[in-house]
Structure 1
Amino acid sequence: MNSLYPCLWFDGQAKTAAAYYCSIFPNSKITSENPIVVRFELNGFQFMGLNGGPQYQFSAANSYVVECDTQEEIDHYWGKLGTNGVYNQCGWLDDQYGVSWQIVPAILGELMADPEKAPRVMQAFMQMSKFDIETLMNA
């Protein structure tokens, strides 16, 4: 079976970025490296970092979703990935390398599936930067 995994293009910071991400996610490690490519796993999912140069930049058109079961998990990923980055609305942030992440509660899909509750939940999270699970559940 063929593997499928993202390749993240960095401007000479692939190993530094891989080590940074591995320090944030459980069950993570750098699996191989050379001067051009670093392969790493984040919570068991394979990634590749490429030292490609300054030609390309990351954008929010490609983001990584981190579903969290607890507020503590949201706080952890929000704080760690957002360090030296940019916090945005509705659980989105750009990390210090420009990679976009969505830090969302795992229960959000269930809350949005309830036709009566969904509009109130959406109204609540549209006012949030970091998601607050209790506020969403009480909406």
Structure 2
Amino acid sequence: MAELAPIHPCLWFDSQAREAMEYYVSVFPDSRLDRIDEYPDEKLDEHFTGMSGKVLNGQFTLNGVPFTCLDGGPLFTFNESISFMVSCADQDEIDYYWSKLSHVPESEQCGWCKDRFGLSWQVVPANMGELTRTPAQIRVMMRQKKIVIAELENA
């Protein structure tokens, strides 16, 4: 049987792909910018004018996971139906990632947050399943924005 191709996310940004890659690799350990290919200087067609210097194909690694991204213009935007989970070992990790990734307070709910680029994240304890076993724990979690482990343990 042939080896399966790895699957990894591709993120479409309006025009902030380079800024997003640089930001994300500063937030996560074991991360790096791998490659940035830019759009050519010439006009490609009526949809891709003014793209010179923007990211045609960006490749980066976050915490060992490969990502691809591009600047594609405003046609498509992120929404909450797709998010990335950050499984945290403890409250200090939750607090760290929350402080780096949550930039839209009205989008915060049950450990979900939205970053400054509009991408949704779930910043949760690695043992979230153990912390939401009872109805009381689930009620507490449903009222939380950022997950507070002690509140779930005490519910």
Please report the TM-score for the alignment, with normalisation by the length of structure 2. Answer: 0.83
| Aligned residue number for residue 85 of structure 1 | 104
| Aligned residue number for residue 119 of structure 1 | 135
- The answer as to 2:20 corresponding to 1:20 is no
What are the residue-to-residue correspondences of 1:54-133 with 2, within 5 Å?
Answer: 54-82=74-102, 84-86=103-105, 87-112=107-132, 114=133, 118-133=134-149
Report the aligned-residue RMSD: 1.1
Quote the sequence identity (%).
Answer: 43
1 CA distance for matches of 2:12 and 2:104?
Answer: 17
1 CA distance for matches of 2:58 and 2:15?
Answer: 11
Secondary structure class of the residue paired with 2:19: helix
Shift of 1:85: 3.3
Which of 127, 131, 134 is the matching residue for 2:150? Answer: 134
Matched to 1:9, the amino acid is W
Matched to 1:137, the amino acid is E
Gaps of 5+ in 1: none
Gaps of 5+ in 2: 39-55
